[in-house]
Amino acid sequence: MKEKKPYKPCDLVIYGALGDLSRRKLFISLYRLEHANLIEPETRITGVDRHEVNTTEFIEIARKSLQEFSSETLIDDVWDRFSARLSYVKMDLTQVEQYKVLNTVTDSNTRVLVNYFAVAPFLFKNICQGLAHSGVLTNESRMVMEKPIGHDLKSSQEINDEVAKVFSEDQVFRIDHYLGKETVLNLLALRFANSIFTTNWNHNTIDHIQITVAEEVGIEGRWEYFDKTGQLRDMLQNHLLQILTFIAMEPPVNLEANSIHNEKIKVLKALRPITSNNVDEKTVRGQYTGGYIKGANVPGYLEEEGADTKSTTESFVALRVDIDNWRWAGVPFYLRTGKRLMGKRTEIVVYFKQLPHNIFKDSFRDLPPNKLIIHLQPNEGVEIEMLNKIPGIDEHIKLQKTRLDLSFSDAFKKNRIFGGYEKLVLEAMRGNPTLFLSREEIEQAWTWVDSIQDAWRHYNESPKSYPAGTWGPIASVALLARDGRAWEE
């Protein structure tokens, strides 16, 4: 991954600057980059939206958003530096003519234009057309967009086609915020810088791998969006498949964007299709009912604000995934993700194979396998579960499971990335595409996920219910039990 520091100053233009994404994530990320002195002094940030506010009011909205959505206290001189970069332009994004105004607030001679599309995808086409019409784009300009990039292969192709009429592929930066998370990036280091793992990372030594992305939150007032989307498309098509590709890919020849993209695409192409022939045994869909999270009563999915009480959208999904290539032959990957689960937890557990012969029968009838547990969030770190002799001179050899525990916050006091966005916004401004998704990756992921969605539609079964505050429906336990395995709890 090439560090391009210092980088050329930017005109960062945020479309949808008063929307949810900007207020919850972008202002905070930019402020933190400012705090870390990572924004070029000449960089300017322009908010664009359809509401009638002036720059002073916009700056006030940004300040309030920082206070509302971040736990940090603003530091006066950092805030002064940051707010001095901000300006606001009112625009109706559907009106091509209005984009000409961008010529007055950007300067392509001294700054690179970075267009951040923080709006719903139906507006992408308008923005692209408006930008093309405005004459403000150069070969250096970039566009940043994020999920949902479509809701299936066809719609995603339509979006990508529209964008491709105006931006070449190397100008397009598609965000999956999980790729900005420190621990996801650390998977590259863990796998490709440590021979202990490199040499053991295949079907010879690994029995199976579990990936859990559990959320405590429900749908957070996003019924409109979520009910049309469901957990498979909201979380699995992107975040979980991204983690899976990092875990499963072959070593890239280097850290350049193309090398990494190519290896990830090979994994996505090797995913065994889940179709109506096997969807029953390979997938579980769930929907939460009311329950308790951290002692508080929370409503069920169908009781959420604005709910359609007949909805069969899934808020939980568990899958058995098989990768048809040499490395992973016979090694299932079990993926699960859901809202309103018992805790917020993103982790990968690698189960190594059991040893063929047990000489410690006094301690264990079957020797438990070694496990590598990678905590992505919260409490980022890596643990290895192994067997050790219980100390004591009068004891015969008796074994006990123990864990080697490496907590990243203890090991590295400095340079923590907060969420995923800071890193990604910075890389977009730097023009480094490594952590962004290629068009082919996204389309390949949709191809695989569409087949599951089609199979579900074919059977038209209701999701299995689970009480909020549990680990999902019982059927998810059965998914692994059928293979003689159990989820890591």
Give DSSP secondary structure letters for 223-243.
Answer: HHHHHHHHHIIIIIIIIIHHH
Q: How far is the CB of 4 from ligand BG6 (least distance, A)?
A: 26
Q: How far is the CB of 260 from ligand BG6 (least distance, A)?
A: 21
Q: How far is the CB of 187 from ligand BG6 (least distance, A)?
A: 16
The verdict on whether 239 is a catalytic residue reads yes
Alpha-carbon gap, residue 155 to 382, rounded angstroms? 38
Interaction with ligand BG6 in 159-178: which residues (CB under 6 A)?
Answer: 177
Interaction with ligand BG6 in 422-481: which residues (CB under 6 A)?
Answer: none
* Residue in the shown chain whose Cβ atom is closest to ligand BG6: 234
Count of positions (residues) in the chain? 489
Residues in CB range of 89: below 8 A, 6 or more apart = 46, 47, 48, 101, 102, 105
In the bound state with ligand BG6, the residue whose beta carbon lies nearer, of 323 and 341, is: 341
- Rounded to the nearest 10°, the torsion over CA 221, 227, 232, 238 is -60
Interaction with ligand BG6 in 215-274: which residues (CB under 6 A)?
Answer: 215, 217, 234
Alpha-carbon gap, residue 390 to 87, rounded angstroms? 65
Q: How far is the CB of 113 from ligand BG6 (least distance, A)?
A: 26
In the bound state with ligand BG6, the residue whose beta carbon lies nearer, of 177 and 261, is: 177
In the bound state with ligand BG6, the residue whose beta carbon lies nearer, of 217 and 253, is: 217
Tokens describing residue 43: 């960089």
In the bound state with ligand BG6, the residue whose beta carbon lies nearer, of 16 and 332, is: 16
Residues that bind ligand BG6 (rule: CB under 6 A) add up to a total of 4
Kindly name the residue from 177, 208, 239, 261 that is annotated as catalytic: 239
Q: How far is the CB of 234 from ligand BG6 (least distance, A)?
A: 5
In the bound state with ligand BG6, the residue whose beta carbon lies nearer, of 217 and 355, is: 217
**11 exposure class (CB count in 10 Å sphere: 0-12, 13-18, 19+):** buried
Q: Given the structure tokens 């870390």, which residue do they identify? A: 36
CA atoms within 13 A on the CB side of 66: 20
Residues in CB range of 60: below 8 A, 6 or more apart = none
Can you list the positions of beta strands (E) in 264-418? 283-289, 291-293, 296-298, 316-321, 333-338, 345-352, 371-377, 381-389, 399-407
Catalytic annotation, residues? 239
Q: What residues make contact with ligand BG6 under the rule CB under 6 A?
A: 177, 215, 217, 234
